[in-house]
Structure 1
Amino acid sequence: MKDIIILIPALNPPKEILFNYINDLRKKGFERILIVDDGCSKDYEKFFDDLKCKGVEIFKHYKNFGKGRALKNSFNYILNNYNDFSYVITADSDGQHNVSDIENIANILRLSKENKLYLGSRNFNKDNVPFKSAFGNKITSFVYKIMFGDKIYDTQTGLRAISKKHLEDFLDLEGERFEYEINMLIYSSKNDIEIEEIPIKTVYFDNNSETHFNPIKDSFKIYLVMFKTFFKFILSSISSWIVDISSYTLLVKILKNMFTSFSPIIWISTIVARIISGLFNYTVNKNLVFNDDVNHKNVFLKYIFLWLSQLILSAFLVDKIYYMINLDSSIIKIGVDSLIFLVSFKIQDKYIFN
């Protein structure tokens, strides 16, 4: 197991559990174990010194920075100080991750030639799972599927196997606490890094009382991360819609006395308004929403194709619905464009902007 490094972030962990956990890992052949002392209290100094004597390496933070920062700093430390490894397996310090599960993941790594992100996935339908953990993870899994397209059953698992190839990719991700782990998944989903879940035992001690996860503060940060791009897209779309509907309304007033039929007024107003708002929207989405710094002509052409499709679809549906229900066309356009907006977000996020 010399090509695998076991990484354990720790903040005032249960000493006896962690000590026995380290011994069990040793017995299974895991020789390279790195513990991140993420600002543990002073009474842990002797405990960590004893682990050092057993050959465990301790990476120390002067104060508590959070799990995300502990992982990023230790990834950087590993890349600077170790060359001969293929995977880093992260595990929690409270003994929640069974050593036999870590051994199983390690065996899978040895047989696989692919650079995947492996997740130890718990079963939240078990009777021993605290309600808040089961409910929170199921909701997060559902939202993640909608936002990023991958069905991940355990988005918050701390048991992960990360290949050396991808370790550097995760250094620059945002997040100081538990939201960093969701950012790791989002980056993988968006950059076609395959994520594979491996079933593990679902272990909770004392109703998960040892966790440092704050159900309000950390959940808010996790959902903020997942909806961050969507929120920016909403603001961008609202701004673009204001430009679009204002231009459309103004053009309808200008053109209403030039045609006997209302259809050409709708089509001309829609096209001109969409050209104005489309250029505005492309600039904002590329530079502020999706932060795409690639200046390929291909990106612009794909956006133009989407823009034309939206333009034609919007004008077609507004025209048809107007003659069906004889409602103000501006009101109809609001409803039609709201539906197009949701589809447009998924297309731009997945297929147009990087």
Structure 2
Amino acid sequence: MVASVSPNIEFNPAILIPVYNHEHAIGSTLKNVLSYGYPVLLVDDGSSAECHDVLKQLAKEHASQSVSLIRLPINQGKGGAVKAGIAELFHHGFSHALQVDADGQHNLSDIPDMIAEAKKQPKALIAGCPVYDESVPKHRFYARYLTHVWVWINTLSFTIKDSMCGFRVYPTAACRELTSRHSCGNRMEFDTEILVRWVWEGHTIVNRATKVHYPIDGVSHFNKLKDNVLISAMHTRLFFGMLKRLPMLLKGKCRG
């Protein structure tokens, strides 16, 4: 990686993969990602010693293909790992971070199109909008709509088609600046909150359809109690934030 740069850097994307105990899936995911030729940052989110050893070996084997690794000593959660990765990439000269889940559920053949869209609209956040196959657990599929409704209420718009898919391209400078002022959470609530706040601040979101497959042996780190409490608190926090911004949001809709 290269030296730190200013926020006004040329288009220079990299792939960001947060990893927490996906030692069995990450090798295949990384191999497929590397076929597209972009630098890759692995963020070890306080994984077990077994997973950490796998990640160290992968980073060593693929160093010539610009694969690097950082480790968070204590598990932060998906949001914490993504924020750490965005900050790391920004400091090393990368303008955009395309986040890919480690478990292989994302359609990696969409990477070139996601990158091309980001290059065309470098100030926009490119958000994957999932198209599910029969592998999706039904309770997850239907439960997502509760979050969709809250997002539409809190933005007073349908700008965000899906706030929970992690397959995204983040402009590193703008996202780092936003999360320096608003944490957006460290666990599963991060995905939704950063999009809502992105819209509140007048930034552009580009929704792009992408197929999503749930691996049969996939490992989920969603904690039903803890994450549901955090997500409920996030929706409440955003709702009152929306009420404070109501005149501004209505004014924006009138202008539109």
TM-score, normalised with respect to structure 2: 0.82
Deviation at 1:115, TM superposition (A): 0.9
Higher relative contact order (CA 8 A, sep 6+): 2
2:199 to 186, 189, 196: 189
Paired position in structure 1 for 2:127:
119
Paired position in structure 1 for 2:168:
160
- Paired with 1:150 and 1:92, the residues of 2 have a C-alpha distance of 27
- Paired with 1:37 and 1:90, the residues of 2 have a C-alpha distance of 14
1:97 aligns with 2:106: yes
Deviation at 1:229, TM superposition (A): 4.8
Paired position in structure 1 for 2:78:
67
Contact 1:75–1:171 (8 Å) recurs in 2: no
- Paired with 2:71 and 2:144, the residues of 1 have a C-alpha distance of 30
What runs of 5+ residues in structure 1 fail to find an aligned partner?
A: 234-288, 291-344
Paired position in structure 1 for 2:115:
106
Deviation at 1:94, TM superposition (A): 0.4
Contact 1:67–1:176 (8 Å) recurs in 2: yes
Higher helix residue share:
1
Measured against aligned partners, the alpha-carbon deviations of 1:283-337 in whole angstroms (never above 9, x if no partner) come to xxxxxx84xxxxxxxxxxxxxxxxxxxxxxxxxxxxxxxxxxxxxxxxxxxxxxx
- Paired with 2:110 and 2:224, the residues of 1 have a C-alpha distance of 26
Paired position in structure 1 for 2:15:
6
Q: Which letter does structure 2 place at the counterpart of 1:149? A: L
Paired position in structure 1 for 2:189:
179
Q: Which letter does structure 2 place at the counterpart of 1:176? A: N
- Paired with 1:10 and 1:43, the residues of 2 have a C-alpha distance of 12
Deviation at 1:27, TM superposition (A): 1.6
Paired position in structure 1 for 2:7:
none
Contact 1:36–1:58 (8 Å) recurs in 2: yes
Contact 1:13–1:210 (8 Å) recurs in 2: yes
Q: Which letter does structure 1 place at the counterpart of 2:110? A: D
List, as ranges, runs of 4+ consecutive aligned residues in structure 1 with deviation greater than 6 Å: none
Measured against aligned partners, the alpha-carbon deviations of 1:191-238 in whole angstroms (never above 9, x if no partner) come to 1111111111121112x74121223431332232122154589xxxxx
Contact 1:96–1:203 (8 Å) recurs in 2: yes
> SS at the partner of 1:200?
strand
> SS at the partner of 1:227?
helix
Contact 1:72–1:170 (8 Å) recurs in 2: no
Judged with a 3 Å threshold, the aligned counterparts in structure 2 of structure 1 residues 231 and 346 are, in CA distance, closer, same or farther, namely closer
- Paired with 1:183 and 1:86, the residues of 2 have a C-alpha distance of 21
1:79 aligns with 2:90: yes
Judged with a 3 Å threshold, the aligned counterparts in structure 2 of structure 1 residues 45 and 142 are, in CA distance, closer, same or farther, namely closer
> SS at the partner of 1:36?
strand
Paired position in structure 2 for 1:219:
228
Judged with a 3 Å threshold, the aligned counterparts in structure 2 of structure 1 residues 224 and 35 are, in CA distance, closer, same or farther, namely same
Paired position in structure 2 for 1:141:
148
Deviation at 1:7, TM superposition (A): 0.6
What runs of 5+ residues in structure 2 fail to find an aligned partner?
A: 1-10
> SS at the partner of 1:156?
coil
TM-score, normalised with respect to structure 1: 0.61
- Paired with 1:141 and 1:40, the residues of 2 have a C-alpha distance of 31
Paired position in structure 1 for 2:4:
none
Judged with a 3 Å threshold, the aligned counterparts in structure 2 of structure 1 residues 28 and 165 are, in CA distance, closer, same or farther, namely same
Measured against aligned partners, the alpha-carbon deviations of 1:21-80 in whole angstroms (never above 9, x if no partner) come to 2112222212x1001101111112331221121122111011211111112222222222
- Paired with 2:85 and 2:34, the residues of 1 have a C-alpha distance of 20
Paired position in structure 2 for 1:50:
57
Judged with a 3 Å threshold, the aligned counterparts in structure 2 of structure 1 residues 215 and 135 are, in CA distance, closer, same or farther, namely farther
Paired position in structure 2 for 1:347:
247
Contact 1:8–1:35 (8 Å) recurs in 2: yes
* Rg comparison, structure with higher value: 1
Deviation at 1:349, TM superposition (A): 6.1
Q: Which letter does structure 1 place at the counterpart of 2:232? A: Y
> SS at the partner of 1:34?
strand
- Paired with 2:212 and 2:238, the residues of 1 have a C-alpha distance of 32
1:88 aligns with 2:97: yes
Q: Which letter does structure 2 place at the counterpart of 1:166? A: A
